[in-house]
Structures are given as C-alpha cells and as structure tokens.
Homo-oligomer: A and B are copies of this chain.
C-alpha cells in the first residue's frame, strides 16, 4: 500500500466514522506529514454567543485539535518501515492529545473555516504541532499548539 492510498483511506474513514467530527461538520481536506488541513462551514448550531453570532470557542478548539492530530497521524505513518493496515492501525491507536493551547485572536465569524497544521517537534513518543484557523476571507481567527502522544 502506498502512502497516498493510506492517506486517502484514513481521510475517508475519519471523515465518515467519527461522530463528533460529523456533528460539527469537520472535514479533513489534506492528510500530509508536511501540512494537514481541516475545513468546515458555518452552521447556526455552532454558535456560542447568540447575541454576537460567533463560533463557540469549543468549536475552534475541536477543529484545531483535529488538525493537529491529523498531521501527527500523517507523521506516524510516514515513519513506519512497513506500511500494512495492521501496522497503521496499531500505530494510530496510540495517538492521543496530551495538551492543547488555543489562542483566540478574532471573533469566529465567516462562511467557511480553514485550519492548517504542521509539526514543530517530531519524536518517536511525542510530537508537537502548531495550528492556524482562518475564515474564507483570510481573517486569522485562532492559533493553537498541541502536544500529542505518538508512540
């Protein structure tokens, strides 16, 4: 199995089988060890504050966490010497968020939101990712840093 096939397979699986991501409409749109990407569109049910019509901070944190976890997963798979479904599943099952910092820069307004993530520390046990969230106009809405268990 090639890396690209694996990426496509995992994207499909995660995009259709993770209940909370589906509830929020979070879609993995790039699964790559260099930079992964999540997108989601505005829905009224994601509103935190009904007076101001802005995203709940928890929506932002959820999207940042998923983006960081996705790029960490892509790095785990990239480092596998033998890419089999069993090895992938075994490796990915160890993935977990240890801690996550979210910096809310601007009110969460927009039609679509794009979160990108890249790895700033890569190791056999722990990886650290940085994430950014923009809306479709390019407004920078949030920054994040996540530490992930990877082995």
Contact = CB atoms under 8 A, between A and B. Distances in A.
Nearest to A65: B57
A125 B45 CA distance: 30
A149 interface: yes
A48 B20 contact: yes
Assembly of this chain: how many copies? Answer: 4
Interface residues of A, number: 50
Interface in A47-93: 47-52, 55-59, 61-63, 65-66, 93
A49 B140 CA distance: 29
7 contacts: A20-B47, A51-B93, A52-B93, A61-B61, A99-B103, A99-B147, A103-B145
